[in-house]
Amino acid sequence: MTTTEEKLMGESPETTGSGLVAILRGITPGEVAAVGAALVEAGFHAIEVPLNSPDPFRSLEILAANFGAVCPIGAGTVLRVEEVERARAAGATIIVSPDTNPEVIAATVAGGMRPYPGVATPTEAFAAVRAGARSLKLFPSEALGISGMRAVRAVLPAEVEMLPVGGVDESNLAEWRAAGAGGAGIGTAAYRPGDTADQVRAKARRLAAVWASAR
């Protein structure tokens, strides 16, 4: 990896967990390259395009072509096995779901990608781990809370990370990291439909600074 690429990546996800994942719900193909560049430059570690966004597979292709070498690109709100293959063909390397679906997890692993299934209970967390997941999306994170995440992490295998999603922003991001979160999914706190790339860059820089300071 070149010095420029290392700078764009910020902290290494391999050594610090998945890090900050931008959730671009509602993004369009026409704006995704500029927004993606702003996020990568600000130090975000991964970018997710939920499949209920306009023309999501085209947005995935654009992100993968422009930033895939330095930033993992993921498909979000993946509910079916057939969507896993379409996302892989578009260049996604991570698959994010709101639920725990063993078939989606297995298909993701078989395709050489990393699954991020949604969990809200210890039962769902262990079901996801048994299916092959090593990164768990705590969703909605408000439901279990920071103390709940600590309790679940205490009984999970050490190599399994948890990433809170839902309601995570500048006000609580440091607390989540201090509690042991391996990363966090950031939605409207980083991007709202209609935001310009400059607006996204400014918000992303503040979030990345909070994450880094809480290390």
Catalytic residues: 48, 137
Identity of residue 170: E
What does the alpha-carbon distance between residue 62 and residue 87 come to, in Å, rounded to a whole number?
Answer: 12
Tell me how far CA of residue 39 lies from CA of 51, 73, 175, 187, in angstroms: 19, 12, 22, 12
Write out the DSSP string of 133-193. Answer: -SEEEETTHHHHHHHHHHHHHHHS-TT-EEEEBSS--TTTHHHHHHTT-SEEEE-TTT--T
Question: Which DSSP symbol is given to 116?
Answer: E
Say if residues 162 and 143 touch (Cβ distance below 8 Å): no
Say if residues 40 and 67 touch (Cβ distance below 8 Å): yes
